[in-house]
Amino acid sequence: MGEGARRLLARLFLGRSRQPGCETVIHLLQIGKREITKMNPNPLRIKFLLPTMFLAAVAVSCSGQSDTPNSGANSDVSVKAPSDEPVTISILNWNGMTDAEFDRYYVKPVAKKHPNITLTLIKKNAGTPQDAIASHLMAGNFPDLIFVSNKDINDFLLAKAVSGMDELVASTHFDLQRFDPGAIASLQRKKEDGGLTAIPWAQNVGSLLYSKDVFDKFGMTYPKELMTWDETLELARKMTRKEGDVQYVGMNLSSLSQFAQSLSVSYLSPSNKAIVDTPEWKRILEFYRTAFAIPGGATKATLFGTKTVAMQPDWLSVTTNNAAKDPNFPWDVAGMPNFPELLGKGREIDTHSLAISASSKHKEQAFQVIQTVTSDEVQTEMSQYGRVPVLADSKILSDFGSQVPYLANKNWAALFKVKPAKVRDTITPYDSIVLGLINPLADRLRAGETDINTMLRETQEKADVALTAALGN
C-alpha cells in the first residue's frame, strides 16, 4: 500500500468514534472509493486498495477489539468449557468441498459425536479473494469456521478474520503429533510468532498419471515409480508418435505455475516486487521449450479426455475426479517427478484446513467439530474413499481408495513415497497479477517461440508495471 493510501486510512479511522461499530465501515466505504479515485483513478489500483481498506475498517470497527494491533491471527482467545446447548456452526466453503464430502465427513460424524451441534455449509461469495472476504464480513454474520487451503489463508489473516488455535489446542490437549509435520508447518509459518492459524483436515498431492492403454499399445514398460524430469521427458519422447490419423502424445504438461511448484518458486518478494527474470523460471521455460519441440508434442490433448496421452503430471484430486467420470479407463500413477537435486519431493504442500473465525461466538464448539473431523475414524474413512488424510499414521494412508472400485489396486505406494515440497517463501494477495502474465508464456512456447531470455525480461517489465499500478507505488 502506498504512503498516500496509508495517510487516507489513518485520516478516515481517526473519526471512527463518531460512528461506532459496523456503521463506521459503511461510512468509510462510502467515502473511501471517492477519495481513492481522487488519489489514483487507475481501476486496477482501486480494485486492490478498496477491499484492503474495507478489511482494515472491519478489523478496527466491527471486531470489538482494541486499537492495539496484533499479528495476523488473533490469539487472544478466552477458552471455556463447550456448552451442550443446541448450536449451529457455519462453515465457509472457500476450498471447494462437495456436498457429499460435507455430509459424509462432517455432518454425520459430528451429529454422532455432538448431537447438539448442527452444521451448515456457506458458499463463498463471488469476486476476488479480497472482495469476497469483505462482502462476507459486511453481511455481519461471518461463519464460525473457514475451510481454506494453506495458501489462501493469508487473505483471511490480512483481514484479521482468523482466530489463533494455540490456546484451544493447549486447553483441550489436542495432539498435534498425530499430524503430518509438513501439514502443521505449512500453517504455522503464516503467523509472525509461529502460532498455529488453522488445523489441517486433508491435503492434495501431485502425481504422475499414465495411461496403461497407450503404453500397452506400443509395448512399452510403464513409468518407473520415481523419475527425474529429464527421464520423464525422454520417455515422453519415445511415446510421442503418429499412427494413421491419430497423434499420440508422450506427456501433457500442466500450467507453468503448477510445474514451478516442484521448485517452490515465489512470484513476489516480501516487499511485493515481481520475481520473474530468474534462473529458476528460465530452467522451467527451457524444459517446456524442449518438451514442445518434440514433433507432435505441443498439443493440448489430455489423458482422460482424448485417450491419446501417455503421461500427465497433475493434482491427485483432478485425477480422482476424472476417474469418477470414466471409471473403466485403465490408468495408474507413479511418484511425481522432479529435478535431480529435489528427487523425492513433489509439488508444494497443499493443505486443506479449518480455521476458526475471529468473530465466532462458538469457538469451543467449532473446535469440537475440528476434533471430530480429524479423528482417526473420520480420517480413515476419508482415505478409504479417496481423500488424502493429514494424519501421520501410515496405516491410515495404506488403505487409500480401497472402498472405491476405480481407485482400488492402484500403485498408491509409489505415489505416497514422494513427499510434498515446502511451500514457497512468499505468498501475497498480488500473486495473481504475476501468474496472469507467466502462465500464457506456455502457449507462446507451444507456438514455437524460443527466445526465453526476452520472454522473461518482457514479462518482468510488465509485472513491474502492473504491480506499481495495483500498489500505487
What stretch of H or E contains 284? helix 279-293
CA 420 remoteness from chain centre: 13
Right CATH number for 206-347+423-471 from 3.20.20.20, 3.40.190.10, 3.40.50.720, 3.90.105.10?
3.40.190.10
CA 30 remoteness from chain centre: 33
Residue 20's pLDDT is what?
Answer: 41
What is the model's pTM? 0.81
Following DSSP, what letter does each residue of 48-110 receive, concatenated? HHHHHHHHHHHHHHTS---SS---SSB------PPP-S-EEEEEEE-S---HHHHIIIIIHHH
Instruction: Looking at the structure, give the CATH architecture of the domain made up of residues 87-204+349-408.
Output: 3-Layer(aba) Sandwich (3.40)
Degrees, nearest 5: CA angle 108-110-111: 65
Kindly tell me the sign of the dihedral angle through the C-alpha atoms of 223, 227, 228, 229. positive
Residue 16's pLDDT is what?
Answer: 39
For 226-359, strand residue ranges (E) read: 241-243, 246-251, 309-315, 331-334, 345-348, 350-357
> In this structure, what is the dihedral angle of CA atoms 79, 83, 89, 95, given to the nearest 10 degrees?
40
Kindly tell me the sign of the dihedral angle through the C-alpha atoms of 223, 227, 230, 231. negative
pLDDT average, residue stretch 452-472? 95
In the chain, ranges of CATH 3.40.190.10 domains: 87-204+349-408, 206-347+423-471
Q: How confident is the model at residue 466 (pLDDT cuts 50, 70, 90)?
A: very high
Degrees, nearest 5: CA angle 171-173-174: 110
pLDDT in tens, 380-423: 999 999 999 999 999 999 999 999 999 999 999 999 999 999 88
| Cα 13 from Cα 106, distance rounded (Å) | 41
pLDDT in tens, 190-247: 656 668 999 999 999 999 999 999 999 999 999 999 999 999 999 999 999 999 999 9
> Does 127 have pLDDT greater than 80?
yes
Helices (H), 127-211: 129-138, 153-158, 166-171, 181-188
Q: Classify 339 in phi/psi space as left (phi over 0), alpha (psi -120 to 50) or beta.
A: beta
pLDDT in tens, 14-29: 343 334 444 444 444 4
β-pairing, 199-204 vs 350-357, is antiparallel
Residue 227's pLDDT is what?
Answer: 97
8 Å CB contact between 182 and 349 = yes
Q: Which cell numbers hold the place of 471?
A: 500498489
Of 1-15, 85-99, 154-168, the range with the lowest mean pLDDT is 1-15
CB-CB neighbours of 189 under 10 Å: 15
